Structure 1
């Protein structure tokens, strides 16, 4: 609707205005020198609107007005409210009969006609050919849309213009007010930054269109010059915060987060610098900064919203609209494309579409989160209903499952995670139990302590992963050799293992230890990348009569192991023979 109204506005303007053919020359001379110097080389333009881009020079512009007194009175409009200095002269037969000094460097109250644009009423009774001379100088883009209106046509055009701008600012105000109320209701930070963004965009547009100077600060000339920079930069800053909250960009999103922080940091630098540096320099930097930030916003959508969700669709339309509008306006101000109603209002169209789409995107995000919460609650409710309807069966199943889980947990707590044999805790319990049983029935109890020879060299040479494979390999050999019902294999710690042999005398225990040693020696660990040959040293202790004390059995077997290692390794030592 807003675009259609702008189109209607352009048609009304085209129907009612008289297009003037302008000539221009760069000069800082006085009016007398200009009109009395026939040697000046005036340049012409084919564009309907004179657009000289950003320039620090003063320009003289001239044209001729053909005034029909019967259709009057007439108004001359210069429809670009951010021009700094305008000296307007009207001459007939070489005599100046109108001279007006205008520009946004003059208090608004000094204007001959209260309007956002620069309006000069022609004196009653003016007729015939009138020479128009305009001296213009501005730190903003130097555009001069000069239009001659009849009073009737101007009023029609102005009414349509105000309706269009009223709808635009009304849209921005409604969006801001609605989301402020919504923010105070649900305290969603995305809404807070959205409202700030909309307010900054609206004030930036008000500065460009001249409404801010007329209605908000008509006597603050310095601030009026800075306001465009301030609100454009503020729009980028608040928009960046909004994107970060909408897309949930945080520290974990390393590059996206860094890019957003750089945009925020550079924006603050520009905001501070705008107070001290020339407007003409700062506006070019700021426009480049704003366009870059819009491109970054589209890039964030590509990386953060890779799918085809509705949020992604609305976000894409929003940022693409403002990006295209901003680029078109920038190209217009830099005199790279001609000024038309569309290029002049592209940013208004883009921001109107963006604000509407972003509001829908916020609603989509909140609705998605609400649906997720509702779905979670619904799922939980259904689960509760299901549990209530099958309570007895579920209790029985869960009791059994709990018992099985406890059994698995108990087994896991007694098992070495790497080798799969019993761990030290299980060894202590088993040894205590076997000592009690041996004491009660007075039978022999043997303990074998086993250590892998030169295991540190294996780790240093082949790496710890290969070392782990070696431990697993040895654990399997021990389990394959100690197969009786009363044999208990455990990992003692590091590369040491322990075997508890119930009702086993020294001879039987020695034979088993030798079998394990020879099996290990004959069974290297072979893989695609290595072949590791290993040997074992073992210490054996057999207790045939009380006292049966687990710690003493382990200490005696460990002492025998120490002797075997000191005596050359790859052998079995018996504690009673040391």
Structure 2
């Protein structure tokens, strides 16, 4: 199955490369009667920072004549402009007839409107619009690609664009004829089909691996895949056109949300895949910082996408890539073989994303080929990560086999040593008798003392405390809503709760003068010799917190439970007995339950 996956994805990847090279190119001419295609290198763009509520006539008039600015970069980038912006360019049609051209925009905008001003007559064309918040029925040309049909009159003309976007305004444009556009749209559809097909194949493959292995890395990987697909669908216009065209609220937020979720999923996958929790230290802290940043970005993109400019997510994306590679490199140096795959996979994606970032900054021309390169980076990255996950399964399987073999050898050696030690029949009988005595005073379910063993030891502790003048702390515990647990999950789960509680109490009573016991049902007791009331109350609180943090994994869910604790602690006197302490602790336990359970209460001073 893994070889089949590699073959399929390679076919998709080669297809993307082939189709990516078929992009239409620009001619360095401006004669619209003969030019097939013009792009940013051939068109002198001017931009105006003005409210999108202004009219076309107003921004073309004398009031804004001195406010227009020329673009000197290969691709126009005017950054965040939540209030809107305008762009214009001048064209000359030397023919005697009107020329029809299509303005292709290789970037995502919420809304773009265009009108052509005939300089000779002063007349305006009708408004044409497109964008992620424009429904297919409202678009001037029904296509997921952002395209605007323009009719250019003979002679001089000016094209005015009204731009609306919550993300940075980058305007890579091409002016092409209908034949070139049909070819471009076909190639774009093929690229998108290849990309989403590759994503689907890898997602299904890794989802099936999760079903068989139950390794959470595969679920994290599938979420990462889905987030990347969501990002591409949003940024390339296919999501707004086919999936949420009628959901304006979501269309306004999908771009920022998809970017944030993609980086968030990448951060979570890296932490899971490289086991950064096991690495700990500043590596884990940096990873958590990245995850927190993109979680905030995702939240802001939903609540107020127009405020995303304050988060500087372009810089955040660059820093995230640097940190991800740095963390992977350090973990690789520490001997994590999976980090090597991650480094190679992310290096390709970062390289293609860097090209896109340079184009956004206006340092290199933005083209559909630059955007297609990022698609290729995604496909290759996820292919390598999928192979890395499969490789990790093989390494972990080999490690388990070696561990099992070592365990068998150790067990055989232990058996041989045990046989030597029990050579004597008398020694065997003595050990058996000791074990019987232990079992007679031990609760078989929890491993702590039973009531019989408890009563023997608590009486001795009270006598010792009375003789030595030492304080004796008596803790009485009860599982909250234990009947409800039995009724809802069955007695088997209830027994597991009792067992883990007994194990927890045993960890808090390891010294010779400390011991825990199960008195019956869900009731437990713990004795601490030589411990004052404040100290006993403090350690009872630690026990309560430790129990509250326990989690029992069930086949379809998990369960948590809590305990209430009553504490009785004082120096025993002549009239004190196990019953005296038990009564005081029981009344304190009753108050703890009456006050809401899952808490500790100290016995009233009248018992001290």
- For Structure 1 versus Structure 2, the TM-score category normalised by the shorter chain is 0.5 to 0.7
- Distance in 2 separating the partners of 1:44 and 1:405: 98
Relative distance call for 1:230 and 1:219 in structure 2 (3 A) is same
Aligned residue for 1:96? 124
| TM-score normalised by the chain length of structure 1 | 0.59
Q: CA deviation at 1:196?
A: 0.4
Matched, 1:9 2:17: no
- Distance in 2 separating the partners of 1:25 and 1:232: 27
Aligned residue for 1:147? 174
Candidates 283, 287, 292, aligned match of 1:265: 292
- Distance in 2 separating the partners of 1:367 and 1:67: 69
| Matching of residues 278-293 of structure 1 within 5 Å | 278-279=305-306, 281-282=308-309, 284-293=311-320
Bigger shift: residues 256-265 or 5-14: 5-14
Q: CA deviation at 1:256?
A: 2.5
Asked whether the 8 Å contact 2:167–2:309 carries over to 1, the reply is no
Q: CA deviation at 1:157?
A: 1.6
Bigger shift: residues 199-208 or 253-262: 253-262
Candidates 160, 166, 173, aligned match of 2:193: 166
Candidates 21, 31, 42, aligned match of 2:43: 21
Q: How many residues align?
A: 396
Aligned residue for 2:79? 53
**After superposition, what is the alpha-carbon deviation per residue over 1:222-265, rounded to whole angstroms, capped at 9, x for unaligned?**
21121222222222232222222212222662333333333333
Bigger shift: residues 349-358 or 260-269: 260-269
| Matching of residues 111-190 of structure 1 within 5 Å | 111-122=139-150, 130-190=157-217
Relative distance call for 1:331 and 1:402 in structure 2 (3 A) is farther
Q: CA deviation at 1:316?
A: 0.6
Q: CA deviation at 1:164?
A: 1.5
- Distance in 1 separating the partners of 2:398 and 2:203: 25
Aligned residue for 2:269? 242
Larger radius of gyration: 1
Relative distance call for 1:235 and 1:60 in structure 2 (3 A) is closer
Q: CA deviation at 1:280?
A: 5.4
Q: CA deviation at 1:181?
A: 1.6
Relative distance call for 1:262 and 1:148 in structure 2 (3 A) is closer
Candidates 94, 105, 111, aligned match of 1:78: 105
Relative distance call for 1:188 and 1:405 in structure 2 (3 A) is farther
Matched, 1:317 2:328: no
Q: CA deviation at 1:176?
A: 1.1
- Distance in 2 separating the partners of 1:67 and 1:8: 34
- Distance in 1 separating the partners of 2:100 and 2:87: 26
Relative distance call for 1:54 and 1:203 in structure 2 (3 A) is same
Asked whether the 8 Å contact 1:85–1:105 carries over to 2, the reply is no
Bigger shift: residues 364-373 or 278-287: 278-287
Relative distance call for 1:21 and 1:311 in structure 2 (3 A) is same
Aligned residue for 2:251? 224
**After superposition, what is the alpha-carbon deviation per residue over 1:90-116, rounded to whole angstroms, capped at 9, x for unaligned?**
536322233224433433421021112
| Matching of residues 494-513 of structure 1 within 5 Å | none
Alignment gaps of 5+ in structure 1 = 388-393, 407-578
Relative distance call for 1:355 and 1:4 in structure 2 (3 A) is same
Relative distance call for 1:269 and 1:122 in structure 2 (3 A) is closer
| Matching of residues 133-532 of structure 1 within 5 Å | 133-250=160-277, 253-279=280-306, 281-282=308-309, 284-306=311-333, 311-335=338-362, 337-341=364-368, 343-375=370-402, 398=416, 402=420
Relative distance call for 1:73 and 1:327 in structure 2 (3 A) is closer
- Distance in 2 separating the partners of 1:202 and 1:312: 24
- Distance in 1 separating the partners of 2:310 and 2:361: 11
Asked whether the 8 Å contact 2:105–2:171 carries over to 1, the reply is yes
- Distance in 2 separating the partners of 1:67 and 1:104: 35
Asked whether the 8 Å contact 2:135–2:246 carries over to 1, the reply is yes
CA RMSD of aligned residues (A): 3.8
- Distance in 2 separating the partners of 1:356 and 1:105: 33
Asked whether the 8 Å contact 1:51–1:339 carries over to 2, the reply is no
- Distance in 2 separating the partners of 1:138 and 1:225: 8
Relative distance call for 1:48 and 1:155 in structure 2 (3 A) is farther
Aligned residue for 1:110? 138
- Distance in 2 separating the partners of 1:24 and 1:225: 26
**After superposition, what is the alpha-carbon deviation per residue over 1:133-175, rounded to whole angstroms, capped at 9, x for unaligned?**
2232433221222322221111112111211222112111211
- Distance in 2 separating the partners of 1:367 and 1:117: 44
Relative distance call for 1:345 and 1:284 in structure 2 (3 A) is farther
- Distance in 1 separating the partners of 2:241 and 2:214: 35
- Distance in 1 separating the partners of 2:279 and 2:343: 23
